Amino acid sequence: MLKSGCLWEALPSDFPNCKTVYPYCWSWRRNKTWQRIHDTLRARVRRKAGRHKHPRAGCIDSQSVKTTAIGGEDRGYDAGKQVKGRKRPVLVDTLGLLMAVIVTSASLPDRDGAKQLFRRLTGSCKKLRCVWVDGGYRRTLLEWVADRFQFALRVVLRCDAQKSFKLLPRRWVVERTFAWLSHCRRLSKDDETLPETSETLVHLAMIRLRLNRLAA
């Protein structure tokens, strides 16, 4: 369903009935089972790569995606990217593995989205000391983070004279993560009624990626 974007009723015939699969999926969302699986797999992938299971550095950015005609909560217009829909602020480690995600209205400023995201950080982020950001996260956010957390924000800016495309240090990692998410057709647009459902689908997409890495 996540990869192909099919309806729950269109699950392959060798799967359990969708009326069985669907309730399990969303009950695991409510009791945070998916997030616990996600965090456990991230730790295993990091260990396989020779890293400590708890990241010390990360990168934050947001992705605005269009929504469909299906009604739902938290929808707005991102004037900067000219997208009507929702926004996905994410925090990833230096391998591009997801650490935290929220789904908000696209009209929410990046700095406010970052504050909501940082308030949701779990114990798996306890060793975080540095987070790279772009210029949209400057000004009051730097002081806000310094007053409340043990990590600091480091701004990576693009040169104003630069006209051609160039990878920026650190920031390209989170852009690659957005590309991974876009490989799942169900995430190419946001047609979920609840933002919490969209967050669960992002976790599921990263779980799928990590299982493939561990099996390689």
When pLDDT is averaged across residues 126-148 and rounded to a whole number, the result is 91
When pLDDT is averaged across residues 108-120 and rounded to a whole number, the result is 94
The total of structural domains in the chain comes to 1
75: which 2 tokens? 């929808």
Tally helices (H) and strands (E) across the chain: 7, 7
Per-residue pLDDT tens over the stretch 55-109: 999 999 999 999 988 767 789 999 988 999 999 999 999 999 999 999 999 999 9
Q: What's the pTM value of the predicted model, to 2 decimals? A: 0.91
Q: Give a yes or no: residue 23 inside a domain.
A: yes
Task: Using pLDDT thresholds of 50, 70 and 90, give the confidence band for residue 216.
Answer: confident
Q: Rounded CA gap, 111 and 166, in Å?
A: 24
Q: Give a yes or no: residue 208 inside a domain.
A: yes
Q: Give a yes or no: residue 2 inside a domain.
A: no
Per-residue pLDDT tens over the stretch 55-70: 999 999 999 999 988 7
Domain that holds residue 164: 8-215
Per-residue pLDDT tens over the stretch 160-186: 666 666 677 788 899 999 999 999 999
pLDDT recorded at residue 165: 62
Q: Give a yes or no: residue 55 inside a domain.
A: yes
The residues near 212 (Cβ < 8 Å, ≥ 6 apart) are none
Q: Which of 113, 118, 127 is nearest to 56 (CA)?
A: 127
Q: Give a yes or no: residue 3 inside a domain.
A: no
Q: Give a yes or no: residue 1 inside a domain.
A: no
The domain that holds 126 is classified in CATH as 3.30.420.10
**At residue 99, what are phi and psi to the nearest 5 degrees?**
-110, -35
pLDDT recorded at residue 29: 93
Sign of CA dihedral 102, 107, 112, 114: positive
Sign of CA dihedral 81, 120, 125, 118: positive
Q: Give a yes or no: residue 124 inside a domain.
A: yes
Burial class of residue 135 (count of CB atoms within 10 Å of its CB; 0-12, 13-18, 19+): exposed
Q: Give a yes or no: residue 115 inside a domain.
A: yes
